[in-house]
Amino acid sequence: MVKGVASDWKCHLCHYLQTASEMPTNCHSDELGEKYADGVNWDELGFRIIPTDSMYTMKCSDGDNFSQGHLIPYGNIELCPSAGILNYGQGILEGLKATRTEDGRIMLFRPKENALRMKMGAERMCMPSPSVEQFVDAVKQTVRADKRWVPPPGKGALYVRPLLMGSGSVLGVAPAAEYTFLIYASPVGIYLKGRPSLNLYVEDKLRRATPGGTGGIKSVTNYAPLYQEQKEVRAKGFSDVLFLDSVTGKNSEEISSANIFILKGNVISTPALIHGTILPGVTRKSIMEIALDFGYQVEERVIPVEDLLEADEAFCTGTAVTVNPIGAVTYQTRRYMYNLVEYKTGNGAISQKLYETLTGIQTARLEDKKGWTLEVN
């Protein structure tokens, strides 16, 4: 193993390099001649970490710009105890997928949007960030290096996780002196196997985000506060939690890690990005454009819970879930106390049509007329 050294109050990110004997080397080929990692049951992929071959790392000091990064073997990292990410949560994450087409090509979906969102989040968290070009190039390098871990067509995707963190040492409440950009990846299957319609519980006491906070960026601090409520709700048989706005407690905002949409007549609506409490999802943005192409009127607006309960259909979007129908919502009020409100989730549902179109573009089954996809190999 090779370790970096932390000294003079400066923390360096160190990587425990795996030996050749620890690295997976066996692989097999399909009829297209593409090599795949051996020992993976591609038909039973879940949404969990499966270690790949490589990851990407790049550093810079506060006040400087990121320069040349490089690939290293996938493995653990070492941080000094006073690193900004560990003490004050100074970190941003992203998520995107690489998918394999029927003819063996590997495609990314709108990686520039993830790069731009990371830059926006980094500015809010007082961090330098890679340029859009650096971000996209780093993602491409990582996917190429882990090419054999991209599942066969229709079996899943390679989930790519870029991280930006304050890796430098800091004791007082202040930005770190050094930053690390890191990308790792893992093959994943369908986030919700079989895409079952969701059974949501509307949380009317705890809040996910507040105006002026960090709900509109992918800060690493956004998610752990949701775990307790999510765990309790799932123990009661619900799929997930829908959170309301923190000002009035009456308007729908987000599920734990997904945006929400409703359909009423010919109008598709999603909560507006007006207070910085809702994440500007890449899938959200794409679905809005596809819905417009289908002839629907698309609105970004405040959505009271009552509008959700009275909708013709509801669904959520995100990199992990893609597009998933919402089958039921339980909302505890005087009027709808623990009522189960059913939505249209049959074959004619708009969510299914949007899902098929989006995934068709992502996997090149449908022509990409918008220039959203980027071929890696």
218 a catalytic residue? yes
Residue 268, judged by CB atoms within 10 A of its CB (0-12, 13-18, 19+), counts as buried
Separation between Cα atoms, residue 16 and residue 370, nearest integer Å:
42
Distance, CA of 27 to chain centre: 28
At 231, phi and psi to the nearest 5? -65, -45
Residue type, 3: K
Say how many Å lie between the first and final Cα of the chain, rounded. Answer: 31
Separation between Cα atoms, residue 281 and residue 238, nearest integer Å:
23
Q: Which of 35, 147, 218, 369 is catalytic?
A: 218
- For 140, the token pair is 């491409």
Active-site annotation, residues: 218
